């Protein structure tokens, strides 16, 4: 399975021939090896972050081009404890789970929280084109297999769900339960009849300020184009705004019920000393398969077919005021067998980054689901 995922990741990033670019000379990929360049955030950037006393752990994974990338992860609690896996989204990192880890450890769990490639203390390829959805799945699959994790209860939010649900579909035998919060597995969300209009509108969208993002998602931004999905403003913001280098500001403004302190903002900003470190954060929104002709639509549809057979406990715990994924729980409750008989819930008051607003309610969701898995 991992070999198939890696081969797919490589095939999606072939170096184009010169003829495709208007030239006449053909260059084959296997004759032109390329080393993936990356940066690694200096360790001192993570010294004395507020409420983040955890020790770093690292694994090397295949970068799909013959080299390796280092993935950072937290590994807290007893080594023989039942595994709780926490996957963050964009533009956050494992710092987002700082208030959930201690109570889960106190409950006896082994809690593991990785930083996705391009985020936190993990390596950050500098070319934006090096980031693809398939590669993110391949990198985290490699990491998961190396740790040989099993009987996993996983908590997923934002991009953590786009990658995490693909892992569940690829390795269902390794997972005993899923808590999905403010996330999903899109496979062409925009109806095809509106796709052309949306793509054209994107070209002329303004690059908004971080403080305007919440209004964009809610459809109340005064300078907005009618009918354009709010997520396209986020795509444009991440691709072009200098503010993405300070993700603490964006996290603070996107539908949060509580405000970040200055120290918390600086902690979220810590992984990104300068613009060369933010290619992953810039790239992520453009990898979400909104349109039916975008990469990974077929792969996500295939993953959905596996999830439609997934009968282990699957809880939806979306927040009450998320302008990004509101209503995204319904397809899972309707289609995933494991959702039947589970007490789904609404967490609140909370915005998109529910782990920041209501960490204890998120912990309780995991504990309640885990009690259910113990009886399966």
Sign of the C-alpha dihedral computed for residues 35, 126, 207 and 194 taken in this order: positive
Identify which of 67, 91, 6 has the alpha carbon closest to the alpha carbon of residue 283: 91
CA atoms within 13 A on the CB side of 275: 6
Name the catalytic one among 115, 252, 352, 357: 352
Q: Which class for 265: exposed (0-12), middle (13-18), buried (19 or more C-beta within 10 A)?
A: middle
Name the catalytic one among 158, 214, 252, 357: 158
What is the C-alpha separation between 142 and 121, in angstroms, rounded? Answer: 18
Name the catalytic one among 252, 322, 329, 357: 322
Torsion of CA 312, 350, 94, 69, to 10 degrees: 70
Known active-site residue 322: yes
Known active-site residue 352: yes
Q: Determine phi and psi for 174, rounding to 5 degrees.
A: -85, -10
Known active-site residue 158: yes
Please, which residues have CB within 8 angstroms of residue 220's CB and are 6 or more apart in sequence?
A: none
Please, which residues have CB within 8 angstroms of residue 323's CB and are 6 or more apart in sequence?
A: 214, 217, 218, 230, 254, 255, 351, 352
Positions marked active-site: 158, 322, 352
């Amino acid at each position: 399975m991992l070999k198939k995922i890696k081969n797919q990741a490589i095939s999606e990033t072939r170096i184009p021939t010169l003829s495709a670019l208007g030239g006449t000379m053909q260059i084959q990929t296997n004759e032109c090896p390329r080393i993936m360049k990356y940066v690694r955030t200096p360790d001192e950037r993570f010294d004395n972050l507020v409420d983040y006393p955890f020790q770093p752990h690292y694994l090397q994974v295949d970068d799909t081009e013959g080299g390796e990338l280092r993935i950072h992860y937290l590994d807290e609690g007893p080594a023989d404890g039942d595994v709780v896996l926490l996957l963050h989204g964009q533009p956050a990192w494992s710092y987002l789970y700082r208030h959930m880890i201690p109570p889960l450890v106190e409950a006896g769990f082994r809690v593991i929280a990785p930083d996705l490639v391009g985020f936190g203390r993990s390596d950050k390829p500098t070319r934006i084109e090096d980031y693809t959805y398939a590669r993110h799945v391949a990198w985290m699959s490699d990491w998961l297999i190396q740790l040989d994790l099993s009987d996993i209860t996983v908590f997923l939010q934002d991009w953590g769900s786009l990658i995490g649900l693909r892992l569940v579909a690829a390795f269902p035998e390794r997972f005993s339960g899923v808590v999905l919060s403010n996330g999903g597995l899109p496979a062409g969300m925009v109806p095809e009849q509106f796709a052309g209009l949306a793509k054209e509108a994107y070209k002329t969208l303004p690059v908004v300020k971080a403080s305007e993002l919440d209004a964009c998602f809610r459809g109340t931004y005064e300078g907005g184009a009618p009918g354009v999905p709010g997520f396209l403003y986020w795509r444009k913001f991440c691709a072009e705004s200098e503010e993405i280098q300070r993700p603490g500001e964006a996290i603070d403004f996107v539908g949060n019920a509580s405000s970040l302190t200055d120290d918390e903002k600086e902690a979220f900003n810590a992984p990104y000393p300068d613009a060369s470190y933010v290619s992953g954060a810039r790239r992520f929104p453009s990898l979400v398969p909104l349109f039916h002709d975008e990469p990974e639509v077929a792969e996500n549809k295939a993953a959905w077919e596996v999830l439609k057979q997934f009968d282990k406990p699957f809880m939806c715990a979306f927040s009450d005021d998320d302008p990004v994924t509101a209503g995204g729980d319904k397809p899972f409750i309707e289609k995933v067998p494991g959702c039947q008989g589970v007490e789904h819930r609404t967490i609140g008051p909370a915005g998109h980054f529910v782990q920041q607003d209501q960490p204890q309610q998120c912990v309780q969701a995991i504990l309640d689901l885990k009690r259910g898995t113990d009886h399966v």
